[in-house]
Chains A and B, each alone.
Chain A
Amino acid sequence: MGFALRKVPGGVCQVGVEGQLIVGNRQELKSVIQDAVDKGERKFLIDFSQTGYIDSSGLGALVSLSKKVREQGGELRLAGLNEDLRSLFELTKLDTLFAIADTPEQALAGF
């Protein structure tokens, strides 16, 4: 499974996560975002509309990426989390660290 990054209107890099973001593939997502940061991109939206599961390694990867993007003056937003996944963010208080929108459209509207 790959993580395809596409540029959408507003200068935002949008990445969709299909299936799972877990210990086995989190490094791939980190590489995709880091490469874009290195090329000067600063606005990121990760779309979880097609995501069934995120494990603690995946959560950790998002924390790490958010920090790197912020250090470069950018922002990383999340959208499309289902009820179960949102509960993981609430349980770990990560909902206070990220801007989380219900849909990618809502996240993009406020960028």
Chain B
Amino acid sequence: MPDSEGLPATLRLCVRRTPIRGPEGSRVVVSLRVPSDVSCVEEVVDLVVRHCCRGGWTDTRRFRFNLKVAVAEALANAIVAGNGEDCSKSVMVNAELLQDQIRVSVTDEGPGFDISALPGPTILPDLEDSNGRGLFLIRHLVDDVFFNPQGNSICMTLRRH
């Protein structure tokens, strides 16, 4: 969808890399505001992973892959299920880079959902079902997963083991 400058809205991504002094030591915060367009997912995931895994860290290939899966699944959920692919709504992606872990939150502008209605983390979707594997994958590939009470924001922690 073209914006007022004639550029596709999908290209208007904002990355802020801000060193912050906090109780957990020096950290970096990477933030992106993402249009509710599934064609953005690949570019945004690549941006997040690139920014999270650069610097002095020697993250393994497996760590980068798990981060990529988690961000891709959470972002797709937020765009499709959360915002209903409504181009007037955005998804906020925030990544906190700490010495020993990465915390990524993905927040949509949807009404949220009932967290208690979620299947347990070990419940697999039916093999023949074409949906329902996103959250399952997230829960298996990151160290901690939390939702806000409204159910429109997911926070995922990956520890640098």
Contact = CB atoms under 8 A, between A and B. Distances in A.
Contacts of B65: 84
Contact of A67 (B61, B72, B128, B131): B128
Interface of B: 38-42, 61-62, 65, 68-69, 72-73, 76, 79-80, 124-125, 127-134, 136-137, 140
Contacts, number: 65
Given A22-B42, A23-B41, A92-B133, A53 B127 contact: no
A56 B39 CA distance: 15
A59 B42 CA distance: 16
A64 B131 CA distance: 10
Given A56-B133, A63-B130, 7 more contacts: A56-B73, A59-B133, A60-B129, A63-B127, A84-B61, A92-B124, A93-B127
A97 B72 CA distance: 24
Q: Which 9 A-B pairs have the closest CB atoms?
A: A60-B130, A56-B133, A56-B134, A64-B130, A23-B76, A24-B38, A84-B65, A23-B38, A24-B39
A23 B41 CA distance: 8
Interface of B is mostly: helix
Nearest to B131: A60
Interface of A is mostly: helix
Interface of A: 19-20, 22-24, 53, 55-57, 59-61, 63-64, 67, 84, 88, 91-94, 96-97
A97 B127 contact: yes
A60 B73 CA distance: 13
Contacts of A20: 42
A66 to B, nearest CB: 9
